[in-house]
Chain A
């Protein structure tokens, strides 16, 4: 980078003097502008969503989520005890009599699995 010429030094000096002569009102407004800009750093990030979601709506959403979660439509998987009850039912048909259809049932079970 080349050294500045005398002309460049002179113009820089004059411009700096012009900036140094700003009146009190302008300096005060610049200070206020700076403080207003820096105040943005004080705003917590976690509250950004509060501008868009009223508190009541947020609470209603939470209640709805709990209700949906505990809906009777979402039954847990049947326990093994219930399976045993079904198998032990005396009215349940006897699927295996003298073994004649055993091969068929084995084949059917294989078809179901695939």
Chain B
């Protein structure tokens, strides 16, 4: 299999989860899409020649850096914008009921149950401290093992375990009734 084809398959397999992870971190769909695109570009630019087994933790490490870059730009922009009297408060949550309409078919009862669960869980995950959120999403959502997660987060395996454990505790406390 050529590198291009293998990369295509890899990126195709992670793009949706990567977008959701970026969306949790940035709480804005367009910023999340930009972060994912930047991460894809950088992975292909700099790491296409690395063994395929290394792509996943590398990609998520790059994505974490892209998310952090956006957050920093927002902080700077926010400080500048605070001096502009005409600007209204940003409403980063653009909601389009039609565009956001899900496209999967499921039984009504099951769908309703899932709708509620998705909403509650995503709200709870979005409220996690950044490192707990990162560890939880990489371990639980993306399925990286402890070593890969440590590589993606740039920390020790012990730190990953601690962040993940605390994330689970936080989520259990918030979601116990629903889950």
Contact = CB atoms under 8 A, between A and B. Distances in A.
A40 B41 contact: yes
Given A14-B121, A26-B29, A29-B33, A21 B102 contact: yes
Contacts, number: 102
Interface residues of B, number: 43
Interface stretch (A30-38, A55-63, A90-98): A30-38
B179 A7 contact: yes
Given A7-B168, A36-B41, A23 B100 contact: yes
B99 interface: yes
B43 A22 contact: no
Given A19-B20, A21-B118, 11 more contacts: A1-B146, A15-B121, A15-B140, A17-B117, A18-B118, A23-B101, A30-B19, A31-B15, A37-B37, A38-B8, A40-B44
Interface of A: 1, 4, 7-8, 10-12, 14-27, 29-31, 33-34, 36-38, 40-41
